[in-house]
Amino acid sequence: MEQLFVSKAEKFIEEKSVESQKTKDPIIWTTSTKLKKSLHIGFYRSLFDYDSSQTFISVLRENQLNIKNKNRTIALIMVGGGNFAGMIVSLYPKTENYKNYFKMDELNVLHHKTFHRYTTRRKQGGSQSTCDSGKGAVISAGSNLRRYNEAALQTEIRQLLTSWKHALDKSELIFVRASGKLSHKILFGYENSVLSITDKRLKKIPFTTRRATKNELIRCFNELTMAKIADIDMEEIEVIPETQITNLTNISKTIVADKEFEIQKKNTSQIIFLIKKGNPQKLIDYIEKNALSYDFQFQPISFYQHISTPLHLSSSLSLSFIVITLLEKGANPTIRNGNGKTAYDIAGNKTTQYAFRLCRASLGEERWDWGLAHVASPLTENEIKKREAQSKELKIKTLQEKQRQKEELKKLIETSPPKNLDTEIIKKKSIISLSLEKTLQDQRNLSPDIQKRIEREKRARAAEERIKKSKLLG
């Protein structure tokens, strides 16, 4: 596709055909008497500046390239995520071959520069200054490095813009993409700033861009300055069958459903994160702020078969205090997960089960069908404390009994065995260990018959040891 050169725009483009001229559509679509009716030519609206007294055709003619004036330039600037890319490009190619103008080698780039600084934490996003303003300044090696790099990047960009001031003043248009408050602050509003937010030449890049690099700037320039051609038959659109309209409606409903599903997935991730953090108040605030149910079904359902609701997740993680909070807020304990189990069924420990039974007592039997929820008989706080104390006492007694039996066995061994027999056993053990070591070293070189004999001797010695020990303890 080439740039559109129109010498007699009045004869080429129909003024009545200019569509979306007064709308917010980023592209102005036109038709031509020299092309078939279904072909539409599009131009980005941001390339043209005209008021109600002017027509699109007159402005289009004024913007055509003039061989006598070869000093026309456009500036493109992109800042974001610690990356900067700037370029001032002439509207005329290096050679007179306009057909190859959009090839990278033919572009007449007068100035270009890129910077990169580490200013955002990996996988976390957001600048360090934004994080500091929201959570307070964190002191760490990484955060200090990011703060330094933010300041350095700001200084480098402003110095570059100052050095380009003469070329920027002559540029017809300045396209800027500054994502985030920090990027906007770097370019505008400081003392003796080169760019002004009130400058009429200043335009936003009217489409999605990628990371700020020189190649991305060239892609944006080509996208902006190339005419778009679309083949749209208006007559066919007017006679679209009702079945196709129904299909389009169904497609739009599917798109809406997909968007809702993505929102539900996002809510799922956030609720799970807050539960695992163990902060019931923030969990409640999030659920109420987003008008969600306390029985919110985690999405996708197939992935959350076991922990399908906030109550199931809290119960399985043994977070008894969150279980109590959710039940008091109205979470339904009778809901079953994908495996047919209630939240009580998958409780991680006794304390969590006590939380359910405590809520059964405090909320009342009429609140839920507690039997359907598999929750055991109700318990008051005093009863739970009494049970916990009994359980603790039983554990202490069990440990004490084990310790007593251990000490008795130790005393029996110390007082019962004869000294000579004990010494003899120790000597035999040392002799056996030495012979075994030697046997293992030479085992590969022995014949199978000798190996079998050694094994018989080992078993005989072991039998003797067992008999002596039984006599000793008997």
- 336: alpha, beta or left, given left = phi > 0 and alpha = psi -120 to 50? beta
pLDDT at 113: 94
Q: What pLDDT score was predicted for residue 67?
A: 55
Apex CA 183: angle with CA 181 and CA 184, to 5°? Answer: 65
The pLDDT value recorded for residue 405 is 73
The answer to whether residue 460 sits within a structural domain is: yes
Averaged pLDDT of the chain: 77
SS in 3 state form for the chain?
A: CCCCCCCCHHHHECHHHCECCCCCCCEEEECECCCCCCEEEEEEHHHCCCCCCCCHHHHHHHCCCCCCCCCCEEEEEEEECCEEEEEEEECCCCCCCHHHCCCCCCCCEEEEEEEECCCECCCCCCEHHHHHHHHCCCCCHHHHHHHHHHHHHHHHHHHHHHHCHHHHHHCCEEEEEECCHHHHHHHCCCCCCCCCCCCCCEEECCCCCCCCCHHHHHHHHHHHHCCEEEECCHHHHHCCCHHHHHHHHHHHHHHHHHHHHHHHHHHHHHHHHHHHHCCHHHHHHHHHHCCCCCCCCCCCCCCCCCCCCHHHHHHHCCCHHHHHHHHHHCCCCCCCCCCCCCCCCCCCCHHHHHHHHHHHHHHCCCCCCCCCCCCCCCCCHHHHHHHHHHHHHHHHHHHHHHHHHHHHHHHHHHHCCCHHHHHHHHHHHHHHHHHHHHHHHHHHHCCHHHHHHHHHHHHHHHHHHHHHHHHHHC
CA distances to 224, 400, 403 from 397, in Å = 82, 5, 10
Residues 271, 148 within the same domain: no
- Beta-carbon contacts of residue 171 (< 8 Å; ≥ 6 apart): 73, 74, 75, 88, 201
Residues assigned a catalytic role: 128
Q: What residues make up the domain containing 426?
A: 416-473
In this predicted structure, what is the pLDDT of residue 78? 94
Task: Indicate the number of domains in the chain.
Answer: 4
Residues of the chain with confidence (pLDDT) below 50? 1-12, 15-17, 19-20, 419-421
**Domain presence at residue 399:** no
Answer whether residue 101 is part of any domain. yes
Residues 40 and 78 in one domain: no
pTM for this entry: 0.47
Instruction: Tell whether 59 and 126 lie within a shared domain.
Output: no
Kindly state whether residues 351 and 282 are assigned to the same domain. Answer: yes
pLDDT digits (tens, 9 = 90+) for 396-455: 777 777 777 777 777 777 775 554 445 555 555 555 555 555 555 565 566 677 777 778
Q: Is residue 49 domain-shared with residue 126, that is, in the same domain?
A: no
Asked if residue 27 belongs to a domain, the reply is yes
Shared domain check, 217 and 286: no
Q: In the prediction, which pLDDT does 180 show? A: 75
Domain boundary among 199, 221, 243: 221
Are 78 and 190 within one domain?
A: yes
Within this chain, do residues 210 and 290 fall inside the same structural domain, yes or no?
A: no
Residue 79 lies in a domain: yes
The reply to whether 395 falls in a domain is no
pLDDT at 442: 60
**Domain for residue 264, yes or no?**
yes
88, 212: one domain: yes
- Looking at the fold, whether 320 and 440 belong to one and the same domain comes out as no
In CATH, what number is assigned to the domain containing residue 126?
3.30.420
Within-domain flag for 242:
no
Beta bridge partners of 174: 75, 202
Same structural domain for residues 154 and 287?
no
